[in-house]
Amino acid sequence: MIKLVATDIDGTIFIPEKEFTQNVRNCISRLCECGIKVVLVTGRMNAAAVRIAEDLGLKTPVVSYQGGLVVENGQTLYERYLTEEQTSKILAWAREEKIHINLYNNDVLYSETECYEVQRYCNNLHTEHTVKKFSEIKKDKINKLLAIDYSDPKRISSYEKELQDIFPDLYIVKSTPYFLEFSNPEASKKCAVEFLQNYWGLKKEEILTIGDQNNDIALLQAGGIKVAMGNATDELKEIADYITDSVYEDGFVKAMEKFCI
């Protein structure tokens, strides 16, 4: 019996740049009514993820920053940050490669310039940002760094493979075709879901995990039932137990009806 559904947001329950369908909203309500815990597990910042959880009527902890932060009713249950040294190395690499970086410190999004990349990112995710030189920011709680290239997805894919050797002490993952994320090695979706599994005393077989992108590989690894969306990457589909329909066809709802309700 499934007791926990750990779900990604974008591309899984949320149609990119649009909204939740009413079917998804109704399905999440039904899961909660059945006593199943529904937890959002996302790369988004905590402030944005919490708003989404509230919109969906969820009372469970929220997992943000790929698993780097778990918050329940304003209380931090789990957190992992990048060190200042790690941050400095990544920023030096980004300057050399001339690639845009979003920096998240203490749940605030910073960009060094008011550029196309950060504007498009914030518009799509309905979030805010602060423009400030990174050298002027106190890097005491770096949640993650995000490299963005909207013009060349192949560049992001190549970096994902190459940088594992350059930065072996980091968790580096492609979260969309345009985004490459850098975080603490214990800031993965797998680590966060396993923390919640222990927090609630659950068995792995009581957990269903569902997602669509490469950063959800770690998420699916934490589940007893691993579900990939129809719009998922090939890499994610390879490790899934079940492939549902796409986010545009309410694939999440169909998976829940098959395994949970």
- Chunked mean pLDDT (size 10), the chain, 261 residues: 97 88 97 98 95 96 98 96 95 97 97 96 91 94 97 94 92 94 96 98 98 97 98 97 97 98 88
- The domain ranges of the chain are 4-79+187-259, 84-183
Query: Which CATH number does 4-79+187-259 carry?
Result: 3.40.50.1000
SS3 readout for 93-134? HHHHHCCEEEEEECCEEEECCCCHHHHHHHHHHCCCCEECCH
CA gap 179, 233 in Å, rounded? 14
> What b/e readout covers 162-187, taking b as 16+ CB neighbours within 10 angstroms?
ebeeeeeebbbbbbbebbbbbbbebb
SS3 percent helix, strand, coil of the chain, rounded to 5, is: 40, 25, 35
Does the structural domain 84-183 have CATH classification 3.40.50.620?
no
CA gap 190, 127 in Å, rounded? 25
